[in-house]
A and B are shown apart, each in its own frame.
Chain A
Amino acid sequence: MRRLRNPVAFGVLVLAVVLAPFLFSNYRTYQLGFVGLYLVALLGLDILTGFTGQISLGHGAFMGIGAYTTTILVVDHGVRDLWTIPLGGVVAGVIGLAFGIPATRFAGPYLALATFAIPLAFIGILKRFPHFTGGTNGKNLPQLHPELGWHTNPSIWFYVVCWFVALVMLPLAFFIVRGRFGRALRSVRDSEIAATANGVSTAGVKTAAFGISAFYCGVAGSLYAIGTTYVNPDTFPIDLSILLLVGIVLGGAGSLYGMLFGALFVEFIRLTWGPALLNLFSKAHHIDTHAPGSGLVVYGVVLLLVLYLAPAGAAGLVRGLSGRPAFLRRKEDPSLSDPGLV
């Protein structure tokens, strides 16, 4: 039964992905496309944060690197947009590895601080070389057009592309966190000293995890550029890096399926759920929903509630529902003993 759980869960996910465009409007389908690409980004960050225990405040910039790779190749060199998706991942991954080699010598909060420099530097570099990057004006990409002889709405085609990529990257993440390498990742998270004593090269493992996560974020960034058809430095603010980290925590760090919830949150909280909740409250209490920054209040409240009520994130909540209530269980980290499960 347990061995079946992963294939069954994956099958259900594939079925839901196939059916969703038939059930939702074009706009919702377009948004779900973004959920797919955020899932890719969160999977990458989860490998670094959830499985290896390294906190990064800079992965929004790796999405930016992927997005700019796609944009520059498509706009200035006429490369077909779809082919740039793996290239965006490779460029971001290589830069991630190069950054990871010195940075992962830092431990814990020091690494987080070092990664905080990435988005700051990234925005500065974009503005410094306007002939290459388009500067503050940014660059417009052409709209993604359906291929394979299929005539459909660009929003639906975007969804198809995003989820095709996501459904390749998800099993790939399972293979990465399984077996020898996966155990090495988790040993670094749980005790670097013990890991070293067992012959694990902690710096090497951390650097590899950094590169893999940057690759995932680069792929997500390529899709992001294709979806928004526009990039400029403002589209990759520092908030994006922090939002990704919040997505990991809410989804449940160390769980791969949990990232699905994280991705839904990242996409919907700011533009859809936040304003909707605010409207609900404002009708009852006459709050000015258009007051500057009022949307952020909802975001903050939701975040606090989740951390208070479900500290292990959505994945922890689901786990709790399917088994004994959390307070009856022994304290254990399920991702340690059973990495691939929900």
Chain B
Amino acid sequence: MRKTFLLIVAALAVTAVVGATAGARPTATPGVTAKSILLEGTYPLSGPASGYAPIPVGMGAYFSYVNAQGGVNGRKINWHYEDDGYNPANTVQITHKFVEQDHAFALVGGLGTEPQLAVRQYLNDNKVPQLFVATGATTFDRDFAQYPWTIGWQPDYEAEGAIYGKYVAANMPNAKIGILYQNDSYGNDYLRGFKAGLRAHQSQIVTAQPYDLSATTPPAVQMVKIKASGADTLVLFATPTPTIQAYVIGTKIGYKPANVITNSVSATDAFLTIAEKSGSDIVEGSLSVEYTLDPANPIYNKQPGMKLYRQIMAKYAPKANVNDGLNLYGVAKAWNVVQLLKSLGKNPTRTGLMAAARKMTFTPGKKNANPFLLPGVSTYTRGNFQFPITQVKLVKYVNHVFQPQGKLFAGRGALR
């Protein structure tokens, strides 16, 4: 009995000493020291969404490049990211760690609508920047008044939908439209934007078929209904796997729409190649949109941004697949982060960072546009307009590569 008691006392004494020495004191501005700035983010490196894993690699490559040139105002960027497996419960715990234990200056580029929704209130309560989340859910940009510490980056789904609507209204006034959409905020954001873009042409929609992400079978019934409706223009507002399935099922049931429009999330070379290899013959000619340079298309190789991208990736992420556009997405986003940090001067604060993010003018006219975005695309926010990227270019899938079509479209602005 006495021995046990002594053991317990000894164990408690040891833990007390360890605990007392382990707690690091937060500095005046969390995450900022004389020599470094700590930025952190959560990404799905495992699980169903692990296909997005190249994004933080691209971001890290760009930060390493900036650090090699002396960093930002004399401070090196310390980039740290962790795997949440696309489970919001994990995102919450890791985010608590970033804020309460690591004392990150800002959380940057966190990926996924639901994971980022899960931590939005917490980060706003703690006044920690939730900068440039990697999701196009409209709420992250639109609801800035309620969540002043949160901002998106890429074109929002609603705006992208509106661009397809406007394009159809202008160029295919006689098309009969059949829509397959995911029955959640993702698909509904797209659908709402699409209808807003069509305006008076909404009657061109002959059918809109929802499917459930949790459904265990491919959307075959929906595709049959779309074919039966006589639609000659197929619009897919679906995530990658159902998109591929829809392409394949379409061919199997003998459906030959004159045009196919596919939302940009699912419209990558990799996904469409899978659809073709699985036997779909309606992939060729698919329409979508792009806003960054596309490393898979050689026509961009002479762009200064593409040259710099390839240099950075070769030096700082040599193992990555440089032709995967997700790396470039990461590099492009990191460019904006670095510009914001530079503008904060010698004494960066979280408040200053958000103020700068709310008033961005990275536009081609000012000669400081993001070099990794398509020529002419700006990152611009001001006052009540908090949608950083809104311009996109229509692209057509020809011979395994997306070819740009015509001029830039602005998704926002015409909506209101």
Contact = CB atoms under 8 A, between A and B. Distances in A.
Interface string A229-252: 110111101000000000000000
A107 interface: no
B282 interface: no
A122 to B, nearest CB: 10
Contact of A230 (B12, B15, B88, B319): B88
A127 B93 contact: no
Interface in A77-125: 123-124
Contacts of A233: 214
B45 A295 contact: yes
Interface in B72-101: 81-83, 85-90, 92-94, 96-97, 100-101
B33 to A, nearest CB: 19
Interface string A7-23: 01000100100010011
Interface stretch (A24-32, A210-218, A313-321, A333-341): A24-32
A290 B81 contact: yes
A165 B276 CA distance: 56
Contact of B89 (A25, A124, A135, A235): A235
A56 interface: no
Interface string B10-29: 00100110111011000000
A137 interface: yes
B23 A25 contact: yes
A23 B89 contact: no
Residue in A24, A271, A288 with the greatest tally of chain B CB atoms within 10 Å: A271
B19 A295 contact: no
A25 B100 contact: yes
Given A30-B100, A229-B122, A296 B56 contact: no
A28 B15 CA distance: 13
Contacts of B184: 127, 130, 135-137
B121 A140 contact: yes
A138 interface: yes
B130 to A, nearest CB: 14
Nearest to B214: A127
B118 A140 contact: yes
Contacts of A224: 89
A293 interface: yes
Interface residues of B, number: 48
A292 interface: yes
B46 interface: yes
B45 A292 contact: yes
Interface string B103-131: 00000000001100111111001000000
Contacts of A288: 319
A293 B96 CA distance: 22
Given A30-B96, A230-B88, A230-B118, A23 B15 contact: yes
Given A138-B88, A228-B118, A155 B100 contact: yes
Nearest to B57: A290
Interface in B216-267: none
Contacts of A15: 8, 12
B205 interface: no
Interface in A142-156: 142-143, 155
Nearest to B184: A136
Given A235-B87, A292-B50, A296-B46, A138 B100 contact: no
A275 interface: yes
Contact of B45 (A127, A130, A237, A290): A290
A75 to B, nearest CB: 12
B279 to A, nearest CB: 27
Interface in A271-298: 271, 275, 288, 290-296
A12 B121 contact: no
A230 B117 contact: yes
A136 B213 contact: yes
B410 interface: no
B185 interface: yes
Contacts of B50: 292-293
Nearest to B119: A230
A178 interface: no
Q: What 4 pairs between A and B have smallest CB-CB spacing?
A: A23-B19, A230-B118, A27-B101, A292-B50
Interface of B: 1, 4, 8, 12, 15-16, 18-20, 22-23, 45-46, 50, 53, 56-57, 81-83, 85-90, 92-94, 96-97, 100-101, 113-114, 117-122, 125, 184-185, 212-214, 319
Given A15-B8, A138-B88, 10 more contacts: A23-B18, A25-B23, A27-B97, A127-B213, A135-B185, A140-B117, A155-B96, A232-B114, A271-B93, A290-B53
Interface of A: 1, 4, 8, 12, 15, 19, 22-28, 30-31, 34, 123-124, 127-128, 130, 135-138, 140, 142-143, 155, 224, 227-230, 232-235, 237, 270-271, 275, 288, 290-296
